[in-house]
Amino acid sequence: MKPKVLILCTGNSCRSHMAEGILRRAAGDLLDVFSAGSKPAGFVHPNAISAMKEIGIDISGHRSKPLDQFLNAGIATVVTVCDSANAACPVFPGPVCRHHWSFEDPPKAVRPGESEMEAFRRIRDEIKKVFEAYAAGCRDGLRCR
């Protein structure tokens, strides 16, 4: 059985879905990857879907989920990708490894002269860099937790 990784953000509409898609592609043969939110928005942001499609990852079938449904799911690792989710993350039963890698919320991260879609691409690329490095560590035999 593969270790289960849960990626959390507040709304489970952008960052956690992008990270889930990237980690599944990079290490789906090693890990079962899921995402959820502390306060699910109820939708996956269309720009997150588009930004991921640009790099060949389809998250159009993802849905926004509450983290409660994973509390007793045998999660081995919890990765929070925003500060709010990190603060709200409950204690999971059993030995759970926690990581916190914070990324800006794409719709709120637009810089001067940058479109919202460009912000999504920038943050997608930041997430990709971190989660592909994590997957590479797993592949190199580092304890993948």
Residue with tokens 């990709």: 128
Measure the CA–CA gap between 120 and 125, rounded to whole angstroms.
9
14, 82, 138, 144: the active-site residue:
82
Based on the residue annotation, tell me whether 138 is a catalytic residue of this protein: no
Residue with tokens 């926004």: 64
9, 14, 138, 144: the active-site residue:
9
Based on the residue annotation, tell me whether 14 is a catalytic residue of this protein: no
Asked if residue 29 lies in contact with residue 56, where contact means CB atoms within 8 angstroms, the answer is no
CA distances from 46 to 13, 14, 18, 112, 120 (A): 9, 9, 12, 22, 10
Measure the CA–CA gap between 69 and 66, rounded to whole angstroms.
6
Based on the residue annotation, tell me whether 9 is a catalytic residue of this protein: yes
Which residue, 86, 82, 46, 75, is CA-closest to 62? 46
Known catalytic residues?
9, 82, 89
